Structure 1
């Protein structure tokens, strides 16, 4: 009887130790539903979200916030039109060039809306985001 109790105790302890050693599995990719939910946002919703983010981070006035929202709305509508336009073309040189000119125009308009101090802070936040993205890409490879 004592041997049976010792064996049961040893088994239960070893099972507990074995289950404690398993690491939780990390999801490598986002699920399709997460991506679909993100893709379903309208340009208006995206513009509102981005304007609120920038207003909070850069301490924008109400007038600046509305101008930034309108700028992002036009930008997201243009991006959506470009996706449709280049859906079958793939990654062509013309598409890359058009994206660069659109981004330069966006940056110039944003610079007119923001004060010098706000634009400096925006540029700093943007640079930090780019560095974080590079570090994540480097860590994946």
Structure 2
């Protein structure tokens, strides 16, 4: 009686294990807020960002299409840089300078497309976003999480 029950249990465990192995995805995924989600393509990110800018800045159809093209180019460049990793021998300062040069290049392109009022509002929104960097959606201050060698430290930012 015990032998058939054990063999049935072993067969069930193998079936479950193989079914779980077949459901894994090969597409790049990122972790976010407790679940796995697919990483958006550069085109999806550019579309989402251009729609958001259209709402926030009141862009015309022509401005929206031009901004979307700038954003798409920027996102494709970012993805290529992420794929390359840090170039051999590049220091942190050199990488920071390269990222700043890229930001300045795209800022200049945005400035050409946007009106003076739209650009002023755009820069204000960027500053607000930067200041909100450590806050959650509800405005509550979120602790900074630092992970190193398998250990996670949470640094509270409360006073």
Distance between the aligned counterparts of 1:50 and 1:91, measured in 2? Answer: 31
- Tell me the equivalent position of 2:45: 46
SS at match of 2:33: coil
- Tell me the equivalent position of 1:105: 105
2:30 is equivalent to residue 31 of structure 1:
no
TM-score (norm 1): 0.68
| Mapping 1:17-28, distance limit 5 Å | none
Q: If you compute each CA radius of gyration, which structure gives the higher value, 1 or 2?
A: 1
Deviations 1:32-71 (A, max 9, x none): 40xx32x2x1101111110000001100000000000000
Structure 2 residue ranges without an equivalent (≥5): 1-31, 144-155
Deviations 1:86-131 (A, max 9, x none): 2586973322111110001011110111000000111111111111
2:84 is equivalent to residue 85 of structure 1:
yes
Judge conservation of contact 1:48–1:69 (CA < 8 Å) in 2. Answer: yes
2:58 is equivalent to residue 55 of structure 1:
no
Distance between the aligned counterparts of 2:141 and 2:95, measured in 1? Answer: 26
Structure number with higher helix proportion: 1
- Tell me the equivalent position of 1:64: 63
Judge conservation of contact 1:86–1:95 (CA < 8 Å) in 2. Answer: no
Distance between the aligned counterparts of 1:107 and 1:48, measured in 2? Answer: 18
What is the Cα deviation at residue 139 of structure 1? 4.2
Distance between the aligned counterparts of 2:33 and 2:70, measured in 1? Answer: 30
Higher relative contact order (CA 8 A, sep 6+): 1
What RMSD, in angstroms, separates the aligned Cα atoms of the two structures?
Answer: 2.4
What is the Cα deviation at residue 84 of structure 1? 1.3
Structure 1 residue ranges without an equivalent (≥5): 1-28
Distance between the aligned counterparts of 1:42 and 1:135, measured in 2? Answer: 26
TM-score (norm 2): 0.61
